[in-house]
Structure 1
Amino acid sequence: MPLLARSVQTPLHIDVRRGAVADLGRILADGRISAGGDVAVVVGPGQGERIADMIRPSLGSADVYTTTGGTLDAALELAAKLRSRSYDAVVGIGGGKTIDAAKYAANRWGMPMVSVATSLANDGIASPVASLINDGIKGSYGVHIPYAVIVDLDFVENGPERVNRAGIGDVISNISALADWDLGREVRGEPVDGLAASLSRVGAEAILTMPGDMQDDAFVTVLAETLISSGLAMAVCGSSRPCSGGCHEIIHATDTLFPGTASHGELAGLGALFCTYLRGDERRFAQMSDCLVRHNLPRTPADVGLDISQFVEVVEFAPKTRPDRYTILEHLAMSPDEIRRKLTEYADAVADR
């Protein structure tokens, strides 16, 4: 019988622990990414420059570039700078905006990219996607998955707790995204990739009920590994479908209509809880609501500073952000009045938790 298999793109090296950044030079050499440390190090505001100073002794040939990140223009500006000479790899150090800019810039010239995350705000640390704002609208740009992913728990611990907690919302939103994927299969015959779904689901289930918080190394390690697993799920699938459904349509709609409202992960948790309520899944709704409360994450529009009318506008606009996606929002196709009524019922359900 023939042996059937498929190749899956994964990072050459994944390291989640305290003190990992100090070993960056060795990691690059052992992974055959850069033997001599001839890399472009990209840092952003915050802890990035501090880390760059720490790794200089082992990466003496590195050049350090600073980026504001977050926008396509910033990523293109960084890409232009990377043409100054030949590099073995691009090492992005910092939060999501810095890493996304580094991923996009490296991908533009076909350079290997190494992700060194200093926060756990979302699953972009290991995904084959760069989320960048262009002309005021946040878009998702396909890039090569990072060749290595490093998370140093010392730097995560020293970062803003609210930023790191947001990653919990992004992780548990996978459960809502997978329910939307199943809905697409049932209604439209959309194929579901079982391996990608498994990678997305397992970590989300762990975080949903796991005790502990951001002061607990065991919990933070599982959160980091789960965010990485979400990135692998997208790489396996070839799209963000395993981790992005109606919950993320709500994120993109909020970012477009009311920019600066809340972080990606905070909105992901809120969007996932609302979409789960719309599905009528009481068990999942209770689990998600309890998890968000436990980690002090938003559950209602008011928690992120939006009134009912604004959130009605968000939910109505959300399907337009991903016209190719079929989620509970497309399935119900609610009018503004129906959305308003559902939101009133949703607020009561949340209050009862």
Structure 2
Amino acid sequence: MKFEELLDERGIELKYVNDNDFDELKGKAIITNKGSFTRKLLLNLGFEDFHPVSKASIEEAEQIKEMIKEKDIVGFGGGKAIDVAKKIASDLNINLISVPTAPSHDGLISKNCSLYKGSKRETIPAKYPRKVIIPLHLWKNSGNLKKAGICDLISNLIALQDLSLAEKERGEQFSEVYKKLSIESVKKVLNCGDEKELAESLILSGLAMEETSRYCSGSEHEVERLLENKINEGKYLHGQLAGTGILISAKVYSLYSDKLKDLRFGSENFFEYIRNLMKKKDVYNFALLPLLDEKFKPEILKEVSEVRPERFTLWNVIDSRNIDFERVINEIIG
């Protein structure tokens, strides 16, 4: 099915802009990141009434929801703002406009949001945006934010390998349509030449998560969640930590290939395959950085099997408590 048809079926309008003409957002409830960039941008554009988000949490969503009246909601900025906007729009059943100011994640249009409830992050059903506005001029100079988005897309390969494992070990069944959308998003990003193609890659990945995020979030995102809690203080982007998770999951798949046979991708050379793809897209060293952080210790990863045990992945077959993660990390870093 053509990309445009996928959006039309879901009532999603996609618009690309090359300047800061966001007049159509006036009079709407704008939710944005508390960081200085999006806040300063909105103020410079004459928007004074908006709701800044410091944490993607259910608590913040509830607080902002109390202040929102019946009008369209805009998620303007990064993943935190867009996820909170998704939750509120879904709860109030009102229109959502998504304006991702950087290509840092694949949740631009996904029908779920990732929010903290207390100290634990949960994936919560939401709704599709009625409209997505892609500011290409902002995306062009997005640097590490773009690298984070590319990592988030490549992580689909780990998620698909985990699905294959769940099919083999537990007899679970998954949609071929969503698996195809997930892999197509990776193929497109590996060969994309401009921001529009990158946007299509991220949107395809979002569509693959229509029924569940499992098609794009597996054992690598469980590593991401663990590292987010253990070493991150706003220092690393979501996609960057997902990239770190890609390397760790792929390496464990390869090290335990004798126990992980006959899957979608050959386990024995899985790490080399993944590493080469990440090097091709210039995100390999970017994903390595959290492993070089002074706060990171390999033994942290012993807990990863406990992060999301209800979602069957690599960590349900290979118990993280029994893995020599010092060896894993040393082999990754080289």
Q: TM-score, normalised by structure 1?
A: 0.78
Change (3 A) 1:283 1:152: farther
- CA–CA distance in 2 between the matches of 1:193 and 1:100? 25
Q: Which of 143, 153, 156 is matched with 2:126 structurally?
A: 143
Residue 215 of structure 1 corresponds to none
The size of the alignment, in residue pairs, is 312
Matched, 1:186 2:168: yes
Change (3 A) 1:24 1:127: farther
| Matches for 1:328-347 after TM superposition, within 5 Å | 328-336=314-322, 338-340=323-325, 343-345=326-328, 347=330
Q: CA deviation at 1:183?
A: 0.7
Aligned-partner residue type, residue 272 of structure 2 = A
Residue 186 of structure 2 corresponds to 204
Q: CA deviation at 1:133?
A: 2.2
- CA–CA distance in 1 between the matches of 2:74 and 2:49? 10
Q: Which of 247, 250, 259 is matched with 2:220 structurally?
A: 247
Q: CA deviation at 1:64?
A: 3.4
Residue 31 of structure 1 corresponds to none
Matched, 1:299 2:270: no
Does the Cα contact within 8 Å between 1:178 and 1:197 map onto a contact in 2? Answer: yes
Residue 269 of structure 1 corresponds to 243
Does the Cα contact within 8 Å between 1:169 and 1:297 map onto a contact in 2? Answer: no
Q: TM-score, normalised by structure 2?
A: 0.82
Q: Which of 6, 24, 31 is matched with 1:42 structurally?
A: 31
Residue 300 of structure 2 corresponds to 313
Does the Cα contact within 8 Å between 2:253 and 2:270 map onto a contact in 1? Answer: no
Change (3 A) 1:349 1:46: closer
- CA–CA distance in 2 between the matches of 1:73 and 1:248? 23
| Long gaps (5+) in structure 1 | 1-6, 29-36, 212-217
Q: CA deviation at 1:221?
A: 2.8
- CA–CA distance in 2 between the matches of 1:17 and 1:245? 33
Does the Cα contact within 8 Å between 1:182 and 1:192 map onto a contact in 2? Answer: no
| Long gaps (5+) in structure 2 | 1-6, 255-266
Does the Cα contact within 8 Å between 1:47 and 1:118 map onto a contact in 2? Answer: no
Q: CA deviation at 1:302?
A: 2.5
SS of corresponding position for 1:226? helix
Aligned-partner residue type, residue 244 of structure 1 = S
Residue 86 of structure 1 corresponds to 70
Does the Cα contact within 8 Å between 2:305 and 2:320 map onto a contact in 1? Answer: no
Does the Cα contact within 8 Å between 2:97 and 2:131 map onto a contact in 1? Answer: yes
Change (3 A) 1:49 1:334: closer
Q: Which of 226, 232, 241 is matched with 2:201 structurally?
A: 226
Residue 288 of structure 1 corresponds to 274
Q: Which of 60, 63, 71 is matched with 2:57 structurally?
A: 71
Change (3 A) 1:290 1:11: farther
CA RMSD of aligned residues (A): 2.9
Identity of aligned residues (%): 25
Residue 263 of structure 2 corresponds to none
Residue 3 of structure 2 corresponds to none
Q: CA deviation at 1:107?
A: 1.5
Matched, 1:22 2:21: yes
Q: CA deviation at 1:346?
A: 5.1
Residue 214 of structure 1 corresponds to none
Change (3 A) 1:277 1:39: same
Q: CA deviation at 1:265?
A: 0.6
Aligned-partner residue type, residue 339 of structure 1 = D
What whole-Å deviation, never above 9, does each CA across 1:205-244 have from its counterpart, x for those lacking one? Answer: 3334x37xxxxxx343322221111111101xx1111001
Does the Cα contact within 8 Å between 1:39 and 1:90 map onto a contact in 2? Answer: yes
Change (3 A) 1:283 1:65: same
Aligned-partner residue type, residue 21 of structure 2 = A
What whole-Å deviation, never above 9, does each CA across 1:232-273 have from its counterpart, x for those lacking one? Answer: 1101xx111100110011111222333426221111112112
- CA–CA distance in 2 between the matches of 1:228 and 1:190? 26
SS of corresponding position for 2:286? coil
What whole-Å deviation, never above 9, does each CA across 1:50-104 have from its counterpart, x for those lacking one? Answer: 55468779xxxx963333342222211111111xx321x2111111111111111
Does the Cα contact within 8 Å between 2:298 and 2:329 map onto a contact in 1? Answer: no
- CA–CA distance in 2 between the matches of 1:224 and 1:151? 8
- CA–CA distance in 2 between the matches of 1:141 and 1:86? 22
Does the Cα contact within 8 Å between 2:303 and 2:321 map onto a contact in 1? Answer: no
Change (3 A) 1:18 1:11: farther
Does the Cα contact within 8 Å between 2:244 and 2:291 map onto a contact in 1? Answer: no
